[in-house]
């Protein structure tokens, strides 16, 4: 209990000391950024005056934080609850969790590595083991696939080549049904992620551009300006150099919405205002989303986030 309070206060002090503005945005919203892999919680607003309409619990505060950025907020951060349906109830997952999200203006994903190192170092205590302390080890996704899956991802950019690489690893693939991205994730989860080094924090950088997200592409390469942070082999944070091209953002929205409409249980409306704010010139910035419960778990030496969450859902359901 005291450890959680200390770490959250430490996060707040870190960003306020660097002149980031703390913001507080809604948990309920009538429209969202469509993200096909994420299932959403839906509820119903009812009123004699306004009738009834659906509202959705946010899976992250991104949709509202970027509207604040577009209005001229400058550097901002937020510590907030986020919600993802159909999540596991296990050592590293909860459908309700605490997220730290921050955006730095005139910065890219590499600048955000330095900020994240400084944040983790500021929160470490005298007994924090070296495996949790900066400096971070850095490895590209391409290098990780070479080392742990045994093939060059840069040479398997077309689906037939990736299918062949997966089959050589002994994975069962459905060539017609599986997309390049699905095959990539199967290889990553089976061979790459379990073997990532855990003797110090690891930043895995430069993800394939086929993994659709709102991160900028690296010109002339098959990669995006994105990284993920692993501590003790557990993913802790995700970072982008944020995409600012309104045409690419609209294309992402339409494509993801179509997939979500075809596959998801709940299909929120697209937040058209989010697209509009990029048409009038969105600032260059980098954003990081970090799982606070996982961070507290790591820094307190625990193996299960249920031990650092007050009233975890798994206890309520007596699982």
CB 315 within 8 A of CB 306: yes
Task: Specify the CATH class of 2-136+200-316 in words.
Answer: alpha beta
Nearest C-alpha neighbor of 208 from the set 170, 156, 243, 149: 156
DSSP-assigned states of every residue in 82-104 = EE-BT---BTTB-SEEEEEEEEE
pLDDT of residue 316: 67
CB 100 within 8 A of CB 112: no
How many residues comprise the chain? 319
List the structure tokens of 59.
Answer: 């899976």
CB 24 within 8 A of CB 251: no
pLDDT of residue 220: 96
Domain regions of the chain by residue span: 2-136+200-316
Per-residue pLDDT of the chain (319 residues; tens, 9 = 90+): 788 999 999 999 999 999 999 999 999 999 999 998 899 999 999 998 889 999 999 999 999 999 999 999 999 999 999 999 987 777 788 999 999 999 999 999 999 999 999 999 999 988 888 888 899 999 999 999 999 999 999 999 999 999 999 999 999 999 989 999 999 999 999 999 999 999 999 999 999 999 999 999 999 999 999 999 999 999 999 999 999 999 999 999 999 999 999 999 999 999 999 999 999 899 999 999 999 999 999 998 888 888 888 887 766 665 4
pTM assigned to the model: 0.95
Q: What b/e sequence results for 175-198 when a residue is b if at least 16 CB atoms lie within 10 Å of its CB, and e otherwise?
A: eeebebbebbbbbbebbbbeebee
């Amino acid at each position: 209990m005291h450890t959680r309070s200390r770490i959250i206060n430490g996060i707040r002090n870190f960003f306020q000391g660097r002149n980031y503005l703390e913001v507080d945005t809604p948990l309920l919203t009538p429209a969202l950024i469509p993200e096909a892999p994420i299932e959403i919680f839906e509820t119903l607003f009812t009123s004699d005056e306004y009738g009834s309409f659906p509202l959705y619990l946010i899976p992250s505060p991104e949709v509202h934080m970027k509207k604040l950025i577009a209005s001229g907020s400058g550097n901002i951060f937020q510590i907030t609850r986020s919600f993802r349906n159909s999540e596991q109830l296990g050592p590293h997952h909860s459908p309700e969790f605490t997220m730290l999200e921050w955006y730095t203006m005139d910065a890219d994903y590499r600048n955000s590595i330095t900020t994240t190192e400084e944040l983790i170092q500021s929160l470490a205590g005298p007994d924090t083991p070296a495996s949790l302390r900066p400096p971070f080890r850095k490895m590209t996704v391409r290098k990780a696939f070479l080392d742990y899956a045994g093939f060059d991802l840069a040479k398997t950019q077309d689906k037939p080549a990736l299918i062949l690489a997966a089959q050589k690893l002994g994975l069962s693939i459905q060539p017609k049904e599986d997309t390049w991205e699905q095959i990539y994730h199967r290889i990553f989860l089976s061979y790459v992620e379990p073997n990532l080094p855990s003797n110090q924090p690891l930043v895995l950088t430069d993800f394939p551009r086929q993994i659709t997200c709102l991160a900028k592409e690296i010109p002339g390469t098959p990669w995006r300006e994105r990284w993920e942070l692993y501590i003790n082999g557990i993913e802790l944070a995700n970072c982008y150099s944020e995409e600012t091209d309104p045409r690419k953002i609209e294309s992402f929205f339409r494509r993801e919405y179509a997939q979500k409409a075809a596959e998801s249980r709940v299909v929120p409306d697209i937040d058209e205002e989010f697209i509009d704010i990029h048409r009038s010139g969105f600032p260059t910035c980098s954003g990081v989303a970090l799982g606070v419960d996982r961070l507290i778990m790591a820094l307190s030496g625990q193996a299960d986030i249920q031990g650092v969450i007050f009233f975890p859902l798994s206890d309520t359901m007596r699982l």
